[in-house]
Amino acid sequence: MKIAAITMARNDLFFLTRWVNYYGTEIGYDNIYVLLDGEDQEEPLSEFPIYVRKLPHRILSRAKGDKYRIGVLTKLAHELLDKGYDRVIGTDADEFIIVDPKLNISLKEYLSQADIKSSISPLGLDLGQRTQEEPDKLDPLQSLLAQRRYAVLTSRYTKASIIAKPVTWGSGYHRVKGHNFHIATDLYLIHTGYCDLDMIAKRAGDNSRIDAGWEAHLGRRARTVALTTHGDPIDGDKMFAKARKLQTIFRPIYAINKPLMPYHKPIIVRLPERFSAIHI
């Protein structure tokens, strides 16, 4: 099948470069579509042909900005499906959809075999950093999954990221309007934006994060790192199947076509060793 991957990014070259290389390897670089939010944006370097378009930056509130971006991306997805694509993957530049390595198949092979009526959702994992065990700085040459092994298992990132027909995404790809969701087996969405405390601190303009009280000081941005640092991790393989069932059964009252994880306490998982071989 012909599969495209699309994203829209601004000031996110570290993750965007990895995003291009990961999805380009999995589905072909000629199927990669990047929209840059701002004509001043630097393009991700790639020795392979990818589609890049710069859009004028619009100063909007967070909510309006989210709606504007998903509207642009939904339109692009519809155009690609009309041009002959069978599947369109839509994610943020710091989100990587991976197939469980135990299947020993590529993302393209998985999605070509999957029975998708309108959309499918990978199980969401918010990658963190266990500061007492893992390196302070990321090695740019290594996979993130070789350097970070702990994540928060959360329905927030169980997104309707893969579509097979021209549906309308809700903001952030969290749902498709007017359709139910299906959580795919052996498919995961790894959100990596909060996996490095040093990077979070630099983005927040605070280089004093090593001082006592960094969690409170950096607030929500560092919450994932705080959880994976202080939490009691569970073997991921013991939770993944259960999480899929729970998130399928439970729904938010305000959006019944979105998943919900019915736990008051965050669930911290240790990713299986086999995940470290995936290069994101």
Instruction: Report how far residue 277's alpha carbon sits from residue 121's, in angstroms, rounded to the nearest whole number.
Output: 22
pLDDT in tens, 35-71: 999 999 999 988 899 999 999 999 989 899 999 999 9
Which residue from 112, 91, 119 is spatially nearest to 35, judged by alpha carbons? 91
pLDDT of residue 52: 97
Residue 217 has what pLDDT? 52
Per-residue pLDDT reduced to its tens digit, 113-146: 999 999 999 999 999 999 999 999 999 999 999 9
For 61: left if phi > 0, alpha if psi spans -120 to 50, otherwise beta; the answer is beta
CB of 4 closer than 8 Å to CB of 23: no
The C-alpha angle with vertex 101 and arms to 27 and 269, in degrees rounded to 5, equals 115
User: With a cut of 50, which residues of the chain have pLDDT below it?
Assistant: 208-212
Domain ranges of the chain: 3-277
Q: CA neighbours within 13 Å on the CB side: how many for 198? A: 7
